[in-house]
Amino acid sequence: MLDEMVTGQGKVLLLAGGGKIFTDIAARFVRSERELEDIAASPYSRKIVENILNSGHKAAVEFDYFIFGVSGYSRVTETQLVRKRLASYLIKSGRAELNGKRKFSLVYPPSVKDFAAEVTLPDGSRLSVTPHLLADMTEQWYEAGIAQGYPEEDLRYMKPQATEFKAIIGMNAHALLDWFAIRCCMNAQHEIRDLAQKMLHLCREAAPDLFRNAGASCVQLGYCPEDSLQNKRCAGKILTKTEALAVLKAYKHKA
Helix (H, G, I), strand (E, B) or coil at 48: helix
d(CA 74, CA 106): 7
Mean pLDDT of the 26-48 span: 85
Which amino acid is residue 237, in one-letter code? K
Least confident of 3-7, 106-110, 135-139, 147-151: 3-7
More confident residue, 143 or 176: 176
Mean pLDDT of the 111-121 span: 92
Mean pLDDT of the 215-222 span: 92
pLDDT band for position 99 (50/70/90)? low
Whether the CB-CB separation of 111 and 131 falls below 8 Å is answered with no
Q: Quote the pLDDT of residue 55.
A: 87
Q: Quote the pLDDT of residue 95.
A: 66
d(CA 127, CA 131): 13
Whether the CB-CB separation of 191 and 76 falls below 8 Å is answered with yes
Q: Quote the pLDDT of residue 101.
A: 58
pLDDT band for position 156 (50/70/90)? confident
Residue 98 has pLDDT above 60, yes or no: no
d(CA 222, CA 225): 9
Whether the CB-CB separation of 50 and 209 falls below 8 Å is answered with yes
What is the residue-averaged pLDDT of the chain?
89
Q: Which of 134, 138, 136, 118 is nearest to 126 (CA)?
A: 118
pLDDT band for position 185 (50/70/90)? very high
Burial group, residue 90, by CB count within 10 angstroms (0-12, 13-18, 19+): exposed
Helix (H, G, I), strand (E, B) or coil at 160: coil
Whether the CB-CB separation of 220 and 214 falls below 8 Å is answered with yes
Residue 193 has pLDDT above 90, yes or no: yes
Q: Quote the pLDDT of residue 208.
A: 95
Whether the CB-CB separation of 82 and 170 falls below 8 Å is answered with no
pLDDT band for position 91 (50/70/90)? confident
Active site residues: 183
Q: Which of 230, 250, 246 is nearest to 238 (CA)?
A: 230
Q: Quote the pLDDT of residue 88.
A: 92
Q: Quote the pLDDT of residue 1.
A: 63
d(CA 12, CA 199): 7
